[in-house]
Amino acid sequence: MKGYDLFKEKIYKKTGINLSLYKEKQMNRRLESLAMRNGYNDFEKYFDAINKNVDLFNEFINYMTINVSEFYRNLEQWRVMENTIIPELLRKNKNLRIWSAACSTGEEPYSLVMLLSKFMPLNKINIIATDLDKEAMAKAKLGVYQEKSLRNLPKEFISKYFDKKLDRFLIKEEIKNRVTFKRHNLLEDKYVDNCDLIVCRNVMIYFTEEAKSDIYSNFSKSLNSNGVLFVGSTEQIIMPNKYNLKPIKTFFYGKSN
């Protein structure tokens, strides 16, 4: 479908999202499919449409950011968090500064709150959660989930922190209140600083190698001297020392000082 290069330029001017930093074939294919589904056979016409129609624009943002999430995604890694990472971080600092980057619809930051509740009172827990997609974060703030997204979550958390309404699970306010949601573009915006733990999982696979390198460098700068970066199960960092990082467990990297 013609006009993708100009489309990227116009999207960057409108949103600050640089589509050139996403894998070209993958993103082009996804957006071409979305445009055609809405009845547009070239990117110029599609941009004109999303520039005028708020619903089409929100659909574009939501589709581009590829929101797929669940509580305690990759269960074994959350066990490592509980048994090793969190206790070690708390040994060095009792007031953890935690950033859930690319948090999607909220399952990850809420998982972090529930896990931390095993170590400290809820009123001592504060999670910063960011995402590019305002619609995804609106869903996160609402806190209503299907049963399948809770399949890995410990049953003690489900019974303690959710109310079931028909076939939906509503997360309780006492958990929601521990998370602050903010819009953030990993490719453009200032990063959260002085983090003890950064969790950013299953989003790097969509970026170019150049973009990934910049993001990892920025994450490293955002970590304090004892900080840890937790990445997705397909996102092991090649040559982490380039970013002043060192592997401490599979999918976990510490600041190399």
Residue among 224, 230, 198 at smallest CA distance from 80: 230
**pTM strictly above 0.85:** no
Residue among 243, 157, 168 at smallest CA distance from 200: 243
Going from the C-alpha of 81 to that of each of 75, 199, 249, the distances in angstroms are 10, 11, 10
Query: Average pLDDT in the 182-194 region?
Result: 94
Q: So what's the pLDDT on residue 67?
A: 54
- For 193-239, the pLDDT digits (tens) are 999 999 999 888 778 888 889 999 999 999 999 999 999 877 889 89
% of the chain at pLDDT higher than 70: 97
C-alpha angle 250/67/75, rounded to 5°?
35
Query: Average pLDDT in the 140-168 region?
Result: 92
Residue 93 pLDDT level (bands cut at 50, 70, 90): very high
pLDDT at 167 over 70: yes
* Strands 162-165 and 168-171, sheet pairing: antiparallel
Q: So what's the pLDDT on residue 61?
A: 74
Q: Report yes or no: 255 and 225 within 8 Å, Cβ to Cβ.
A: yes
CA distance 216 to 137: 23
CA distance 65 to 250: 26
Min mean pLDDT across 3-12, 61-70, 141-150, 228-237 is at 61-70
The residue type at 67: N
Query: First vs last Cα of the chain: how many Å apart?
Result: 48
Average pLDDT of every residue of the chain: 90
pLDDT at 68 over 60: no
